[in-house]
Structure 1
Amino acid sequence: MTDEPELELLRRADPVPAGDPRWRDRPLDARAELGLRRLLAAEAASEGAAASAPRRTARRLGGLVTGLAAVAAAVVAVVAVLVLVLTGTGTTPAVAAPVALRPLAGSRGVPLADVAGAAREAAARGGGTGTRRGSHVMMWSMGMESGPGARPPVILPEEHLTRWNADGGGTELVVATDPRHPGKPVISDSGGAPRTVADGAVLHRAAYPPGTLPPYGRSGTEPPDSAKEMRGYLSQVYGCACADTPALLDALTSLLHDWTPGLSGTAAVDELLAAAPGLRPAGAVTDRLGRPGQAYVHDADGLRRMIVLDPADGRVLGIEETFTRDQPEYRVRAGDVMSYQAWMD
Structure 2
Amino acid sequence: MKRIALIIATIGSTLSYAQDVHFSQFFTQPMSQNPALVGVNFDFAVNLNYKDQWRQIGSPYKTFGASVDSKLNKKQSDNGYFAAGINFFSDKAGDSQMGTAQGNFSLAYHIRNAQHQTIGLGLMAGFAQRSIDYTYLTWGNQYDGTNYNPNLSSGENYGADSFTHADFAAGVVWSYNNKLGRINVTDNHDLKFNAGFSVYHLSRPKYSYLGTDQRLYMRYVLHGSGIISIKESRYAWVPGFMAYYQGKAKELLIGTLFRIKLQQDSKYTGYKQSAAISIGGYLRARDAFTPMILMEFHQFALGVSYDVNVSGLKPATNTRGGLEISLRFTNRNPFMDGDIKPVSRIN
Which bracket does the TM-score occupy, shorter chain normalised? 0.3 to 0.5
**Higher share of residues assigned helix:** 1
Q: Which structure has the higher relative contact order (CA within 8 Å, separation 6+)?
A: 1
TM-score under structure 2 normalisation?
0.36
Whichever of the two has the greater Rg, that structure is 2
**Higher share of residues assigned strand:** 2
